Amino acid sequence: MRSIYERQIAEQSEIERHIRQGTDKIVIRKFGPVAKFLWPHKTAAHVAAIARTNERTAARWLSGEFPPPFSVIEATMHEIFSDG
């Protein structure tokens, strides 16, 4: 049987683990909806052109199946904020 102190430590560790695991997912979940909002038609093709990759890979990033690399997020932001 655990003491109250041991139980509190275990609960804190569990909460911290959930927080750490959840932070990675935020970027993955938001990339697709934001890109689809910005480019509602042929989103995967547009992201693929920005990232210089194929549409299948871009579609996987948009669906959240794989996280997009930081360079793709950076290139997407550059595309959004550039004058042109």
- Prediction pTM value: 0.61
Nearest to 66 by CA among 75, 56, 76, 74: 56
Per-residue pLDDT tens digits for 28-83: 568 888 889 989 999 999 999 999 999 999 999 998 888 888 888 888 888 888 86
Domain ranges of the chain: 25-81
